Amino acid sequence: MTDALVPMEDIPHLAAVDVFKAITVLRAAGIPALIWGMPGVGKSSMVGTLPFQMNDQETGDPLWVLAEPADYDNFSGGLRRPFYYPRGLERSVALSQNEVKNYEKTNDVQLVPLFEPFEVIIGSISDPTEIMGFPSRTDRENGEAVIEFISRSWARNCLDANRGVVFLDELTTCAPAVQKTMLQLVFGLRAGDVTLPQDTYIIAAANPVTSVDAAHDLDPALANRFAHLYLSPNAGNEGWRTFITAMSNDTHDWSSIYRGISRTPKRYDTSVSTRTKAGFSAFIKSQPTKLHNENSASTRVALMAYPTARSWEAMYKIAHFINPFGSDSEKKFALEMMSSILGNHMALPIMEFLQNLDLPDPNEVLKNPHAKRFDPEEQGYRSDQVYAITQAVISIASNSLRGVDNADDVIKLHKNCVDWCQKIDQNPAFSEMAQLFLEPVLSFHVATQRHPAMVQTRTRLPEGYKDIRMVLKTAHSQEKLFGDID
């Protein structure tokens, strides 16, 4: 079935503003983004608006620099604002937004924001040394000669600023050898012998192979490291509005349409993200072949976004920023984000699966594990629902331990979680499934016993819950799994 898919039709086609919103989520989740689109649709102009204003590491106040002509040497894409430049931190001043005008008046200067580095690597004119750096022979004290790589200035700038945005432009014009050197950069932030700071974000743009000369298909391994978004001027019939808005200002600056969009996306509370993650797990359990795409390399290139263990990991990361159980607009955005990682052909059945799960709030289940409204038999829960609920309950209980500061609350949290798991364990219809939760329950049990509030007050769990092996009885190899944990 997947062999018949049209290459670019399996990823979400979005208007410019929607692509920008998606990128803010992907950056917050630490997932590299690849923006596809025909030449001239504004991919580079959009990416140029991504850098954040830098803050002072001690005070947290924004950093500012003098608005002198020399400060504008490192502009990119025609943007009318300075980004980070070498020694920018040394020339900056930390001021709150309210202090800027007074500083400018007192010192008779004009200040502009100091943005994080924005480094552009253009695929059509790059070779492997653009990523790896220049090889250089170094003689060590013991006489041994080694080859080390001298980092390029773009990498040094990110290291100096401890963050940055690295833009890989014209990705489909990169020669295969250059694509290979990008693998560790995109996924592991490695550039030759150096590792870039954790707050460095990798984003790329590319034209479809059929739209440019001398283009190369993306290596499947490289494609699988990105979330894919297609920038379509006509998506949602809003493309003309976007263009007119951008062109109506005096500077004709495309970046103006993004200024009202928050760079910090909404992060949903644990009751939503835990349900989402549990739903993903239940889907994989019900359809294990969907964990990894076993198609040929040529088919995977055509798909761009397809399931692997790596892309599923990205799905769990974005779970904090999507709500597939919310309003129609939230569901639409969730589907778009899932499609960018796994492709439409996978996102649609996952979304349908999540809607049919009809899960209760796991926080309420944890508070009232014996309530009839949550009883699997009373409610007629299917096995996939029980699996998702139980995983969510254990996850919330484990995460909640961090916010508990007295022994009584720790014991109550432990009791409620284990009571729910015991209910599933003792139900013949689900007892086999309970095997899947033994290890996470054990980890939670041990974390409970070692909780600071328990240790400091020398409090022990009640006898009925002291030995988890007596509570959960269906394990085929409990001795091997649990060992001596008292």
Instruction: Report pLDDT digits (tens) over 290-310.
Output: 888 766 555 555 668 889 999
pLDDT, residue 55, reads 83
Mean pLDDT for the stretch of residues 160-172:
91
Give the span between the Cα atoms of 275 and 361, in whole angstroms. 8
Contact 336, 22 (CB under 8 A): yes
> Is residue 98 classed as helix, strand or coil in its secondary structure?
helix
For the record, the structure tokens of 288 come out as 């294990």
Report the pLDDT averaged over residues 80-93.
62
Mean pLDDT of 354-380: 89
- DSSP states along 128-148: HHHHH-EEEEEE-TTS-EEEE
Burial of residue 178, with CB atoms counted within 10 A of its CB: 0-12 exposed, 13-18 middle, 19 or more buried: buried
Residue 108: pLDDT band with limits 50, 70, 90 = confident
Q: How many CB atoms lie within 10 A of CB 457?
A: 13
Distances (CA, A) of 391 to 127, 281, 286, 318, 359: 47, 8, 14, 18, 12
Q: Is the pLDDT of residue 204 over 50?
A: yes
Helix axes 383-400, 407-425, angle to 10 degrees: 170
* CA neighbours closer than 13 Å in the CB half-sphere of residue 416: 23
CA distance 389 to 294: 30
For residue 138, the one-letter residue type is: T
SS3 229: strand
3-state secondary structure of 248: helix
- The helix/strand/coil state of 107 is helix
Is the predicted pLDDT of residue 46 greater than 60, yes or no?
A: yes
Locate the domains of the chain by residue range.
2-126+152-258, 362-482
User: Under a CB-based contact definition with an 8 Å cutoff, are residues 359 and 31 in contact?
Assistant: no
Please determine, for residue 233, whether its predicted confidence score (pLDDT) is greater than 90: no
Looking at residue 76, its pLDDT comes to 37
Is residue 198's pLDDT more than 90?
yes
Kind and range of the H or E element at 165?
A: strand 164-169
pLDDT at 280 over 90: yes
What CATH code would you report for 2-126+152-258?
A: 3.40.50.300
Whole-structure pTM value: 0.82
Contacts of 305 (CB under 8 A, 6+ apart): 10, 11, 223, 227, 228, 311, 339, 340, 341, 342, 343
CA distance 33 to 337: 11
Task: Count other C-beta atoms under 10 Å from residue 55's C-beta.
Answer: 14
Where on the phi/psi map is residue 174: left (φ > 0), alpha (ψ -120 to 50), or beta? Answer: beta
Between 136-140, 330-334, 339-343, the lowest mean confidence (pLDDT) is in: 136-140
